[in-house]
Structure 1
Amino acid sequence: MAITLGFVAALPALALYGLARDADQVGFKPPEPPSAATTTGLPTTTTPTTMQAGVKVDLAQPFVGTPAAGWSDGAAGVVVPPASAVNGFTAMKVGEALKKARDAFIASKLDLKVIQDGDVELLAGLFAPDMSDQVRTSPDYRTRIAPGFKLLPVPMKVNGQMSVEPGDKGELVIRANYAVAYAFHIDNPNEIRDVMDIVAVVRSDHKYVFREGATFARSSQGLWLNGGHTTTYSMACTPLKEGLLAPAYSERRLGLPGQGESVRERMFDPNAPMPEGNTC
């Protein structure tokens, strides 16, 4: 499902089995792409998007045969751009803000204590006090592995980039646009028909806002999540109705029209437009 957010709206867990559900009825619009003239970021990433047919799945190397095989391992793939002075913030302060956004993204997408064990306090503590209670009470600010399933003990694969631009007075806008691939444990590997039976991909384009200065109350200073768009590919659809991520093998479905190479390429490529539609 794909969804867009307002300033303090919850970030629902989003889903698709090849494409995303569009939730325009919420009434929000996705964040506009950052201007090239005002953005400080890393060069645009590129990624192979070709699947290898007939690959025997090795649970020690579960991403072999997928475009994610060459991606960075876990947090190493979340790289902040070089910090420079932006919107009245010193380069040092911009660096601090970027680190906070990076830490929040890693906690929400990669930290097993948060996404698998449900220790949301690790994530909530990274946000401004006025935002942290919302993160604690809503399950929608993080990837959530469905009960009964566990990820394999291998690093998740990550590809994408982070950028920073000026916001309103006293604000920095930080965008985190990434694809994350997860590999799930399966009790009987002989049941695997295709590598994507155990690999799920989540694409996220999040907009963080860092606030500081006399314009804001002390409790509002710090990091906020102010919008986002997320889609999920190759997973079980029923758990997604509750915002939970489970492997495709647990609920195999026939491919639907439009689920071809072009869909897979867009899901594995954080530079491609987010897919829209609904196949769940």
Structure 2
Amino acid sequence: MGKGGESIPDEEWERFLREAEAGTEGAPEEPSARARMAARRREETDRPEPRRSHQPARRQRGKGWYAIGLLAAVALLVVALDPGRVTGWFGGGGGESSPLAVESERPDQPPPTEAAAQQATLEEPFKGSPAAQWGDGTDGIGLPKPQATGWMSKAQVAQALERTRDFLNASSLDPGVLRGDKPKKAIALINPHQQDVQDYLATAFRSPSRENDPRLLFSRFEKAKVRLVGDVVKTRGRITYREGKRGAVEVTTDVTYVYPVVRAAAGSDEVARTIVRREVVMSWDDPAKVVIEPGTFSLVSYKVDTTNGGCDTLTGYLTPKFDAERATSSPGDGPEVDPYNRSKSMETRMREAGDAGCGTATRS
């Protein structure tokens, strides 16, 4: 597993020190109460799913029970590929390009494009894509230096950061999960006492729907239809942290994953790419204040932006399109989107998309 060695910027450190809370004295609190994830259904196909809110509540033991809101915004954006551009996609280099240093802060512009299209091949599945210069698997995910924060010592923060990256690996990079297996290792890291999240997890794999879509947290392909090219998934992103509520260590992950795939049929050689950007915010809570199992975290929020992964499919799997499907499908009616542009935060990306239709990717 690759490790990043970047330090926390001074302004970030000063910001979370100003925002740090002293914590609440008293008995542990327990995440509880089923929170409904409402979504407006659309009549047309190839539409993005609207922004959704997910609001787990917490209970505190004492003289009585009362709820303390823990906001968790849940959103899923999907982007279609433009059928008119499938023969050539501009990117940031071929397989021989030098790898980029791990991302330590948000870039101020999208990666550059080349003057000529380069077609992906089985031998070079990332050719013509900026991802050719990205890290392999968890090596592309930057980790900050640990510092004592909230209820955790420096060593405990370091462990929380490693477990956070373990979750990203188990949810979005594990070969078995990518082939459609249930992400048991990733689920085991989520607080089992956060009941609304457990309800979502129990339903999402049994009966996937707009309200309970496993793609919000996990990358899965239907192995009977597609298979990954090689054993490398390119990534670029970073992990940051600060002190959260009740002295918890709140960790934010913002990572873009690039999956090269071909049809499952033997002899298939047309390479398509599915690009998924996820922001997952998790709270490593103090067991003295929150009911939580050791080594697990509580989910705060999760957002997803997907390119060529299914623009209104509710199967629970990422469903990329190839030339034949794209040639017969309508172009997206939403705005153009560069899936490699990490200069905008996920919050900004969601706000700009709003309720617009399925966007058109400017490259894959």
Q: TM-score, normalised by structure 2?
A: 0.60
Deviation at 1:255, TM superposition (A): 3.3
Separation (CA, whole Å) in 2 of partners of 1:180 and 1:171: 28
1:18–1:232: 8 Å Cα contact kept in structure 2? Answer: no
Tell me which residue corresponds to 2:104. Answer: 42
1:13–1:244: 8 Å Cα contact kept in structure 2? Answer: no
Between structures 1 and 2, the one with greater strand share: 2
2:75–2:303: 8 Å Cα contact kept in structure 1? Answer: no
Separation (CA, whole Å) in 2 of partners of 1:155 and 1:221: 28
Deviation at 1:6, TM superposition (A): 2.4
Separation (CA, whole Å) in 1 of partners of 2:314 and 2:122: 28
- Shift of the 213–159 alpha-carbon distance from structure 1 to 2, 3 Å rule, reads same
Separation (CA, whole Å) in 1 of partners of 2:245 and 2:52: 20
Tell me which residue corresponds to 1:247. Answer: 320
1:161–1:178: 8 Å Cα contact kept in structure 2? Answer: yes
1:202-252 Cα deviation digits (max 9, x unpaired): 1111111111231122448731221121111134435x3334212220631
SS in structure 1 of the partner of residue 227 of structure 2 = coil
Deviation at 1:112, TM superposition (A): 1.8
Q: Which moved more, 1:106-115 or 1:154-163?
A: 106-115
Tell me which residue corresponds to 2:287. Answer: 213
> Does residue 349 of structure 2 align to residue 274 of structure 1?
yes
Deviation at 1:93, TM superposition (A): 1.1
Please list every run of 5 or more consecutive structure 2 residues that lacks an aligned counterpart in the other structure. 1-48, 57-71, 83-102, 206-213, 360-364
Separation (CA, whole Å) in 2 of partners of 1:279 and 1:134: 29
- Shift of the 17–79 alpha-carbon distance from structure 1 to 2, 3 Å rule, reads same
1:16–1:234: 8 Å Cα contact kept in structure 2? Answer: yes
What is the alpha-carbon root mean square deviation over aligned residues?
A: 3.0
Deviation at 1:13, TM superposition (A): 6.2
Q: 218, 225, 234: which one pairs with 1:142?
A: 218
1:168-202 Cα deviation digits (max 9, x unpaired): 11311111111111100235656x4xxxx601111
Give the % identical residues: 20
Correspondence 1:38-187 to 2 at 5 A: 42-45=104-107, 48-50=111-113, 53-131=116-194, 133-134=198-199, 136-137=201-202, 138-139=204-205, 140=214, 141-147=217-223, 148-186=225-263, 187=265
Tell me which residue corresponds to 1:24. Answer: none
Q: Which moved more, 1:89-98 or 1:219-228?
A: 219-228
Separation (CA, whole Å) in 2 of partners of 1:91 and 1:98: 11
Q: Which moved more, 1:157-166 or 1:147-156?
A: 147-156
- Shift of the 5–102 alpha-carbon distance from structure 1 to 2, 3 Å rule, reads farther
1:74–1:110: 8 Å Cα contact kept in structure 2? Answer: yes
- Shift of the 211–52 alpha-carbon distance from structure 1 to 2, 3 Å rule, reads farther
Separation (CA, whole Å) in 1 of partners of 2:200 and 2:285: 17
Tell me which residue corresponds to 1:36. Answer: none
Separation (CA, whole Å) in 1 of partners of 2:262 and 2:292: 44
Deviation at 1:43, TM superposition (A): 3.0
Separation (CA, whole Å) in 1 of partners of 2:278 and 2:300: 13
The number of equivalent residue pairs is 249
Tell me which residue corresponds to 1:225. Answer: 299
Q: Give the letter for the 1:248 counterpart.
A: K
- Shift of the 119–204 alpha-carbon distance from structure 1 to 2, 3 Å rule, reads same
- The structure with higher relative contact order (CA 8 Å, sep 6+) is 1
Deviation at 1:156, TM superposition (A): 0.7
1:213–1:221: 8 Å Cα contact kept in structure 2? Answer: no
> Does residue 54 of structure 2 align to residue 6 of structure 1?
yes
SS in structure 2 of the partner of residue 108 of structure 1 = helix
Q: TM-score, normalised by structure 1?
A: 0.76
- Shift of the 7–172 alpha-carbon distance from structure 1 to 2, 3 Å rule, reads farther
1:107-136 Cα deviation digits (max 9, x unpaired): 111112223231321211122232484475
Separation (CA, whole Å) in 2 of partners of 1:97 and 1:135: 24
- Shift of the 95–233 alpha-carbon distance from structure 1 to 2, 3 Å rule, reads same
2:144–2:239: 8 Å Cα contact kept in structure 1? Answer: yes
